[in-house]
């Protein structure tokens, strides 16, 4: 078997069905091997999109997402998606072409050191050869899926694709995470002594799919729950313990709740989304995780690092007799947030546009969001019925995420309704991917909130009492036509126009752009100043 065939077969056997990327010359034997093995090579317009598609494939399927780029500029382009896989905790393997041994340290076209490039943004980076191939490929799969999941880079020297590989058993490079079990007594005492705990649920809990365990716990003890944006969907939003989402629109309303607590319980809470010290009052933190996390000096924090079943065993030690549940406070906060949002639904701003989408789209729609003011709004306002139905990046937070994320969701779930909401700035970063959508006929509905500006940055300028500067995207109209790269553009500048556009977009089984020309004024009132 050749190197290329060995890799393709290993990927297929692990369940991989897509490789995302843009080829260079040395990629050709690999692409041919993928094709023969039953793996489709999905060509993107920019490697950044390929990296993001691999990230989202990894998140949605649990099978590592695979992407590929050529030397130098291909590799640097793809790093945008790889950084995302690292900070949004997603299993990804990225292959890049590297110079052959004899050219590696020479001055030559496209040559940079990929091992150094990927070192800070991956869990591990390897350069493949025929001696290490079996270990590298097999252990990369395990490593990228281990806690926390993340990306692994494998450099493919340009001259090895046709060399022969002997299949042998991997001796493994893998390191397992270590658990800390030495503070059970401290954990139990914190739980027993707390009367007003608040549970903050984060990305790790969502990734581990702990919704049922959480519901069981809340069935035993009524405790307020707040979520980070990437944990949305883990708890139904009508649940009496659901209080709201941290960090996004109107999250300052939650302060009334957590200022009263005597213990913050971080349940699979990943500070990559929002550091504890940025919001918690001066109370102890009890942090349940699968991996030790860094805590700032001065924080009264106790970490319990172990498998999630053990978190819940310990949580059953809460002192039910003395717990005080602020049910009416939670209801008050939720009602107040709802009434503020409702106040913005009668004109065509971002809240009005989102309301039409929520009214018209099936409940189980997969929504992908880009990064900007619109994400802050979606994070709080978009009612999310289950995990996996709202896909965002809040660890890496790269603009341009929404469109490739939607394409990836649609490829993996061909029958799902998939919608991307993006700002116009984020759209422009990935506009070339509209042709990818068309090429693979991915019937994604791309909703562009067109306000002509980088709104979130403009808002931050205004907080400093500075004029808007360097944030204007265009004068007049974004598209200036009713088609873009062969895809229909439906224009909406009113609530009624938006409703008509959404209904039309749902009725055709092809990619569609809705150009929602919104008044961005709402954001000024809804984005929380931090
Ligand atoms: C790749 C990247 N570049 C820059 C930023 C910083 N940034 C965050 S939000 C934002 C503005 C986004 O504008 P737009 O896409 O129009 O969305 P809006 O804020 O208007 O909703 C910028 C520049 C980022 N997060 N990612």
User: Checking DSSP bridges between strand 225-227 and strand 197-201, what pairing results, if any?
Assistant: parallel
Stretch 317-335: mean pLDDT, rounded? Answer: 89
Contact of 287 with 293, CB cutoff 8 Å: yes
Stretch 265-277: mean pLDDT, rounded? Answer: 97
Q: Report d(CA 269, CA 312) in Å as an integer.
A: 14
Q: How confident is the model at residue 153 (pLDDT cuts 50, 70, 90)?
A: very high
Contact of 152 with 140, CB cutoff 8 Å: yes
226 Cβ below 6 A of ligand 1: no
Residue from 76, 78, 87, 371 to probe ligand 1 pocket by mutation (most atoms less than 8 Å from CB): 371
Contact of 45 with 436, CB cutoff 8 Å: yes
The pLDDT of residue 183 is: 86
Q: Is 452 left (phi over 0), alpha (psi -120 to 50) or beta?
A: left
Q: How confident is the model at residue 4 (pLDDT cuts 50, 70, 90)?
A: very high
The pLDDT of residue 316 is: 86
Which residues are CB-neighbours of 384 under 8 A, at least 6 positions away?
232, 233, 237, 367, 390
Question: What's the pLDDT tens digit per position in 402-445?
Answer: 999 999 999 999 999 999 999 999 999 999 999 999 999 999 99
The pLDDT of residue 496 is: 98
189 CA distance to ligand 1 middle (Å): 44
The pLDDT of residue 403 is: 99
For the record, the structure tokens of 217 come out as 């716990």
> Which of 176, 274, 167 minimizes the C-alpha distance to 226?
274
Percent with pLDDT over 90 in the chain: 93
Stretch 213-225: mean pLDDT, rounded? Answer: 96
Stretch 335-343: mean pLDDT, rounded? Answer: 98
For the record, the structure tokens of 326 come out as 């602020």
What is the number of the ligand 1 atom nearest to the C-alpha of 397?
A: 25
Contact of 337 with 380, CB cutoff 8 Å: yes
**What is the average pLDDT value for the chain, to the nearest integer?**
95
Q: Report d(CA 461, CA 245) in Å as an integer.
A: 25
Residue 375: DSSP 8-state: H
Question: What's the pLDDT tens digit per position in 473-492?
Answer: 999 999 999 999 999 999 99
What is the number of the ligand 1 atom nearest to the C-alpha of 428?
A: 15
428 CA distance to ligand 1 middle (Å): 11
295 Cβ below 6 A of ligand 1: no
pTM value?
0.97
Q: Where are the alpha helices (DSSP H) in 229-372?
A: 255-258, 308-315, 327-342, 350-360
Residue from 353, 396, 400, 454 to probe ligand 1 pocket by mutation (most atoms less than 8 Å from CB): 454
3-state helix/strand/coil string of 401-449: CHHHHHHHHHHHCCCCCEEEEEEHHHHHHCHHHHHHHHHCCCCCEEEEE
450 Cβ below 6 A of ligand 1: no
Count other Cβ atoms within 10 Å, centred on residue 357: 21
74 CA distance to ligand 1 middle (Å): 23
Question: What's the pLDDT tens digit per position in 119-136?
Answer: 999 999 999 999 999 999
What DSSP assignment string belongs to 89-143?
T--EEEEEEE--TTTTTS--TT---HHHHHGGGSSEEEE--TTTHHHHHHHHHHH
Q: How confident is the model at residue 319 (pLDDT cuts 50, 70, 90)?
A: confident
Residue found by looking up tokens 């947030």 in the block = 337
Which residues are CB-neighbours of 38 under 8 A, at least 6 positions away?
12, 17
Stretch 270-295: mean pLDDT, rounded? Answer: 95
22 Cβ below 6 A of ligand 1: no
426 Cβ below 6 A of ligand 1: yes
What is the number of the ligand 1 atom nearest to the C-alpha of 520?
A: 20
Closest residue by Cα to atom 4, ligand 1, is 399
Stretch 260-267: mean pLDDT, rounded? Answer: 96
> Which of 216, 227, 235, 223 minimizes the C-alpha distance to 198?
223
The pLDDT of residue 176 is: 52
Contact of 484 with 513, CB cutoff 8 Å: yes
Q: Report d(CA 202, CA 271) in Å as an integer.
A: 8
For the record, the structure tokens of 289 come out as 């995780």
100 CA distance to ligand 1 middle (Å): 39
224 Cβ below 6 A of ligand 1: no
Question: What's the pLDDT tens digit per position in 157-205?
Answer: 999 999 999 866 666 555 555 666 568 999 999 999 999 999 999 999 9
What is the number of the ligand 1 atom nearest to the C-alpha of 398?
A: 26
* pLDDT for residue 320 is more than 80: no
Long-range contacts for 300-308 (Cβ within 8 Å, ≥24 apart)? 301/276, 302/183, 302/186, 302/187, 302/190, 303/180, 303/183, 304/180, 304/183, 304/184, 304/187, 305/178, 305/179, 305/180, 306/179, 306/180, 306/181, 307/179, 308/205, 308/208, 308/210, 308/213, 308/268
């Amino acid at each position: 078997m050749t190197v290329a065939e060995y890799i393709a077969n290993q990927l297929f056997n692990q369940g991989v069905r897509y490789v995302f990327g843009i080829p260079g010359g040395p990629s050709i034997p690999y692409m041919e091997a993928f094709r023969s093995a039953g793996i489709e090579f999905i060509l993107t317009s920019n490697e950044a999109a390929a990296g993001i598609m691999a990230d989202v494939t990894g998140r949605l399927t649990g099978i590592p997402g695979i992407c590929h780029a050529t030397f130098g500029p291909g590799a640097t382009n793809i790093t945008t998606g790889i950084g995302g896989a690292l900070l949004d905790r997603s299993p990804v393997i990225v292959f890049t072409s590297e110079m052959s041994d004899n050219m590696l340290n020479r001055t030559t076209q496209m040559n940079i050191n990929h091992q150094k490039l990927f070192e800070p943004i991956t869990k591990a980076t390897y350069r493949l050869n025929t001696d290490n191939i079996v270990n590298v490929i097999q252990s990369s799969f395990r490593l990228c899926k281990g806690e926390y999941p993340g990306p692994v880079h494998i450099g493919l020297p340009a001259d090895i694709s046709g060399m022969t590989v002997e299949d042998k058993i991997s001796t493994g490079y893998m390191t397992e995470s270590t658990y800390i079990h030495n503070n059970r007594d401290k954990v139990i005492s914190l739980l027993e002594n707390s009367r007003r705990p608040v549970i903050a649920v984060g990305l790790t809990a969502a990734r581990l799919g702990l919704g049922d365990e959480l519901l069981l716990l809340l069935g035993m003890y009524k405790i307020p729950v707040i979520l980070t944006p990437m944990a949305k969907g883990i708890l139904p939003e009508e649940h009496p313990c659901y209080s709201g989402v941290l960090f996004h629109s109107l999250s300052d309303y939650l302060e009334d709740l957590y200022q009263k607590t005597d213990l913050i319980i971080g349940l699979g809470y990943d500070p990559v989304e929002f550091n504890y010290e940025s919001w918690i009052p001066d109370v102890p933190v009890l942090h349940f995780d699968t991996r030790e996390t860094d805590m700032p000096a001065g924080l009264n924090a106790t970490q319990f690092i172990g498998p999630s079943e053990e978190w819940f065993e310990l949580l059953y030690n809460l002192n039910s007799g003395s717990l005080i549940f602020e049910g009416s406070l939670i209801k008050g906060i939720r009602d107040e947030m709802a009434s503020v949002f409702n106040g913005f639904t009668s004109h065509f701003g971002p809240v009005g546009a989102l309301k039409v989408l929520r009214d018209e789209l099936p409940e189980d729609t997969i929504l992908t969001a880009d990064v900007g003011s619109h994400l802050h709004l979606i994070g709080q306002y978009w009612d999310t019925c289950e995990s996996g139905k709202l896909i965002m990046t809040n660890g890496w937070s790269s603009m341009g995420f929404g469109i490739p994320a939607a394409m990836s969701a649609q490829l993996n779930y061909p029958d799902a309704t998939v919608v991307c909401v993006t700002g116009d700035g984020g759209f422009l970063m990935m506009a070339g991917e509209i042709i990818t959508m068309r090429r693979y006929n991915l019937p994604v509905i791309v909703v562009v909130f067109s306000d002509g500006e980088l709104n979130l940055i403009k808002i931050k300028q205004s907080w400093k009492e500075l004029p808007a500067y360097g944030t204007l995207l265009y004068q007049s109209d974004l598209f200036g036509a009713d088609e873009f790269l062969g895809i229909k553009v439906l224009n909406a500048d009113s609530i009624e126009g938006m409703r008509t556009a959404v209904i039309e977009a749902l009725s055709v089984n092809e990619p569609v752009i809705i150009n929602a020309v919104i008044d961005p004024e709402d954001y000024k009132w809804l984005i929380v100043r931090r």
